[in-house]
């Protein structure tokens, strides 16, 4: 087993690479309705970010015969952590692919690998932070684009929620042991087995969540990706904008787990679910004890108040909570 002077670390969620069966609809949804800014397009891949995102992209969209998530990117804390993660994972028997600088626009050398579920992750460090054109540039020097220039206008990417048909604890154990994620809150079934876990490497309640559901057809699916709005009023404004575009959505509501406000809406091009997210709480305690939620507390845990399909009906179980997601990778 290789020894390191210090263990490699992940700093934050970087980006989601989406393949859409209807590229034009997806671009309309994410650029015009949600309000992401397009950094550039390279060889048919459109790179986008929110007005408060600093790196080259937090979402990429390309056309494909079937909608799926190609990979989810994570930024390492140090440049050497990329290679150190590769060594750590290979020592554990995980197959690691090397991605050379420039293969993904704006990004330096990276590695890609699969979780035990088949979800494909990428770890990188180097990423361009391009300046926007003058007409899109914010007056504030500590902000990338003008806020509220168009659409719902979220500030930044927030988290991803992965759905699986397999034992979620196998995945959360891998995230904790190999990648350094910390469990923040979790949900158990009546037999005390884990259904879902919310984990982070930052003070956020979750950078990633893992949810087991019998509705998932494979072990490697995406329930949703999420972008952050500054406050509850912004969530209500988002509801108005979605209504004006005649787009069906779920919410607004408030989660018990994370205490955040939400709206769920699907991209009409790919079918991927987007969560528009705000409020909640942060965790700064180094000795945080994970919060346990039981099966009979699930309706409060998922929906403290408001609308979320299935969550306010005590007859519904975890198989109905996460219906409607796309594959995260090709197998």
Average pLDDT by stretches of 10, the chain with 331 residues: 82 98 98 97 97 98 96 97 97 97 96 97 97 95 95 98 96 98 96 96 97 89 96 97 96 95 96 96 96 92 77 36 45 33
The pLDDT score that the predictor gives to residue 31 is 97
Cα distances from 41 to residues 36, 38, 57, 146, in angstroms, run 14, 8, 11, 20
> Do 10-124 and 157-327 show the same overall fold?
yes
Q: Are 194 and 169 in contact (CB under 8 A)?
A: yes
How far, rounded to the nearest angstrom, does the alpha carbon of residue 76 sit from its chain's CA centroid?
Answer: 16
Which CATH number fits the domain 157-327, given the four candidates 3.40.50.1100, 3.30.460.80, 3.20.130.10, 3.10.180.10? 3.10.180.10
**Domain boundaries, given as residue ranges, for the chain:** 10-124, 157-327
CA neighbor of 75 nearest in space, from 28, 29, 109, 98: 109
Supply φ then ψ for residue 45, to 5 degrees: -100, 125
The pLDDT score that the predictor gives to residue 320 is 37
The pLDDT score that the predictor gives to residue 308 is 65
How far, rounded to the nearest angstrom, does the alpha carbon of residue 278 sit from its chain's CA centroid?
Answer: 14
Pairing of strands 10-20, 59-63: parallel
Please tell me the class of the 10-124 domain: alpha beta
Task: Please give the model's pTM, rounded to 2 decimal places.
Answer: 0.92
Cα distances from 187 to residues 51, 92, 300, in angstroms, run 34, 28, 12
The pLDDT score that the predictor gives to residue 5 is 78
Which helix (H) or strand (E) segment is 42 a member of?
Answer: strand 37-42
For 251-285, give one letter per residue: b (16+ CB within 10 A) or e.
Answer: bbbbbbbbebbbbbbbbbbbbbbbbbbbbbeeeee
The pLDDT score that the predictor gives to residue 216 is 87
What angle (nearest 5°) sits at the alpha carbon of residue 279, between those of residues 245 and 226? 50
């Amino acid at each position: 087993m290789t020894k390191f002077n210090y263990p490699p670390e992940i700093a934050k969620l970087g980006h989601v690479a989406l393949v859409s069966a209807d590229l034009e609809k997806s671009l309309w949804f994410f650029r015009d309705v949600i309000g992401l800014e397009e950094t550039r397009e390279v060889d048919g891949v459109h790179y986008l970010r929110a007005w408060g995102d600093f790196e080259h992209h937090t979402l990429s969209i390309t056309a494909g015969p079937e909608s799926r998530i190609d990979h989810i990117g994570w930024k390492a804390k140090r440049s050497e952590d990329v290679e150190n993660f590769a060594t750590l994972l290979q020592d554990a028997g995980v197959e690691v692919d090397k991605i050379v600088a420039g293969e993904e626009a704006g990004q330096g050398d990276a590695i890609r690998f699969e979780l035990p579920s088949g979800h494909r992750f990428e770890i990188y460090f180097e990423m361009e932070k391009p300046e926007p054109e003058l007409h899109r540039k914010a007056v504030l020097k500590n902000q990338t684009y003008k806020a509220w220039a168009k659409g719902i206008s979220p500030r930044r990417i927030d988290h991803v929620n992965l759905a699986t048909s397999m034992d979620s604890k196998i995945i959360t154990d891998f995230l904790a042991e190999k990648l350094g994620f910390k469990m923040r809150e979790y949900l158990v079934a009546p037999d005390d087995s884990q259904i879902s876990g919310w984990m982070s490497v930052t003070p956020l309640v979750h950078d990633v969540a893992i949810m087991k559901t019998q509705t998932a057809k494979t072990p490697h699916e995406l329930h949703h990706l999420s972008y952050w709005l500054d406050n509850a009023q912004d969530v209500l404004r988002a509801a108005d904008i979605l209504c004006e575009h005649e787009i069906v959505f779920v919410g607004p509501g408030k989660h018990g787990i994370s205490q955040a406000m939400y709206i769920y809406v699907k991209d009409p091009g790919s079918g991927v679910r987007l969560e528009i997210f705000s409020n909640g709480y942060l965790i700064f305690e180094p000795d945080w004890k994970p919060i346990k939620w039981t099966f009979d507390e699930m309706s409060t845990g998922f929906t403290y108040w408001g609308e979320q399909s299935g969550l306010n009906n005590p007859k519904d179980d975890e198989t109905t909570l996460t219906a409607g997601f796309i594959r995260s990778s090709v197998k």
